[in-house]
Structure 1
Amino acid sequence: MVDVRTVPDEAGSLPRFPMPRETPFHPPAAYARLRDTAPVSRVRLWDGGTAWLVTGYDEVRAVLADPRVSSRRQHPGYPFATPARAAAERGERAFISQDPPGHGRLRKMVTKYFTVRRIESLRPVVQDIADTVIGRAAELGPPIDLVREVALEVPARTICHLFGIPAEERFFFQGRDHTRNALDSSPLEVEAATADMLGYAADLVARKERRPDESIVSELVRDQLHTGAVDRDQLVAIVRHLLAAGHDTTANMIALGVLELLRHADQLDELKARPELWPNAVEELLRYISVFQISPNRVATEDIEVGGVVIAAGEGIITPLAAANRDGRAFPDPDTLDIHREARHHVAFAYGVHQCLGQPLARLELNVVYETLFRRLPGLALAIDTDRIVVRQYLLSSLGELPVTWPVNR
């Protein structure tokens, strides 16, 4: 066991985080090197502070399941990866930034809306949205930008349906969320975008008070706000969080998943011939892509031991899911995409009490969109060379654009 308090911390001697990626299709190579030699290692952050980077699958799960770590962004030791993330998260009041028992109480309020059974009942709605969006793309004709025409559209329109929001309002929260998640956004830009989103959520809550409907927001107003279970600020924070979490990550997964399938044509051909393989393929894509790149983060509230290293109370911990999901101890030959792999034990949705409650919705949307897209446009192909594709690195991996084409019968 290594006691971190005996290890010297000389300025400039530690690797900096976030770490650069050498290729847009794989996590930073440094993750693998550290995982092999020191899966719990110190890194230096933008503000000169240090945190512990955890790169092993078992070690990441151990941290995320440990009740002696906190997800409270207000904790003085919480490690923000960039100035933009500090500006975006420091004032977070949703349950994602709470610890038990408060976290469980707030999370329970919304869990019932994302049960597997309730989400599965939405399959006809999601299928109709996907058919409409992909049908419109087909009518536009090739080439199209798949990000703009499909990937951004399906999750945002689905959230609009769930929240009782006019579809045209999707552009407002899409733009603000992009600003909040971009690593190159300035703190002032992030603060302004956050304020806009909170204002939008507050207005949405007020709208549903005046004109209740069958939406999730109306149910939250009736069952939680009006009963005193939460105050207005808490509900607004929850609604803002659900709006952001409900579309941005899935939109990025749609685009990146299509890109990877087009890069692995033999596996895509098999999926077209055997659609029953899609659910397993979706799990492997979630593992392989691991759209969350620089989170989740935690802070130790007591001294804990992880991977033979003692992390002191008050020290920050970073657990990049992309690193854990490429650990060969959990996933043999981890840098290979294999749609036949049993990958459901991946941590793409994190792990422990804070794992993503919207994962049933994300899985449904991904399965529906991939299957529908390649069935409706069977000859879909990249319209540019892969060396021209840029995967943007911010809180989430994303594609600014994905030009695609397909044969058209004239």
Structure 2
Amino acid sequence: MYKVLLVSVGHFFDSTAEIPSIFKRAGCIVDIFCSEKSWLKSNKFYDNWIEASEEEESFKYELADYVKKNPDKYNWILLLDEFTLKLMNNFIGDDQFLFEKLLPITKIENREVLSSKIGMSKACSRYNITTPRFINYSEDLSLDFIAQNLDFPILLKEDFSFSGLGVQYCANINEFKSCLEKVLNRTNLVLQEFIEGEDIGVEALFYEGQLVSYNCATIISYMGGKFSFTTRRAYYQDANLAKELKKLGESFGISGFGSIQYIYHKERNLYYLIETDLRSNSWMPYSKFTGKDIADGVKQIVNGKIIGDFSETTPLNKKIEIAIFDRDIRRCMKNKDLKGFILWGINYKGCWKFIPFYDTILFNRIFTKLYKDFFKIKY
């Protein structure tokens, strides 16, 4: 039977909690490599737990040692979060065996895209993938140079950041100076032109450079501002966007998950690639509600028969609204959104199906966290 090993170093990434269920739906044997407190362990869908250290320095040696001692035990090993990817990418160095076993790309020359906004932008230029104009900031750059090479507004992005953290919007050169003063570590900053358009979130599965499965969504609600993480989305299929994803997978040599963001500029009819994070996210398990379950993509990989037909485009009135329960409840708490609470309370559009009643382990951990968050709120 097809065996996978799912790996996460941090105990704070709740996005990993339901990923084992995807592989279980695909009929895989699922082992997890994480610490006792990890969210990856907070579910009932894994078969075996390999205990690992919480401490990053120990973790990387433990993982490398385990993989080298069990070279043929797993058909696929996936690193599920940003910190694990960055940790192992830096640690592996030139070790070809560990590169092939652990990293979600097949082209070693593209490893700079892993957990690096600068790396992603450079790779887009290399493969002629449409992305906003950018420059890498250094203390040597003058404000005049920045103004001459980028059109404001721009985004100031810290190279390693996630969920909208480390991203600042700068409307003009004076706001840029003000935003820059807030950055403690100015190494590897990206200055990227801000594109006005529709935000599109994408969850995709690739295998050896080939697009296997995807879902895309427009954003209904954010936790905070535009650059924070999302709590409600409307899902659909888009044949034109699928072409962009196929090119991305082939160019980078992606083999694993992709949590991807585009901006669609309607007047130019262009999809601008904004983020390419080659790891799982919290939305992926919800693909079972869209009719395009990522688990079906995993089944294709397991069976060695990737279909590769992405000709479907969903009519505008057929988009499927999905909410992540605990995220949206926190949004309601933060914004004192009484209407949002009521909609959850009355099971609006059948939203209770998004509450993990099907997994008592995950359910208990989510409600424990919500309970603690609720009583920390100051009114």
With the length of structure 1 as denominator, give the TM-score of the two structures: 0.23
Query: Higher relative contact order at CA 8 Å, sep ≥6: structure 1 or structure 2?
Result: 1
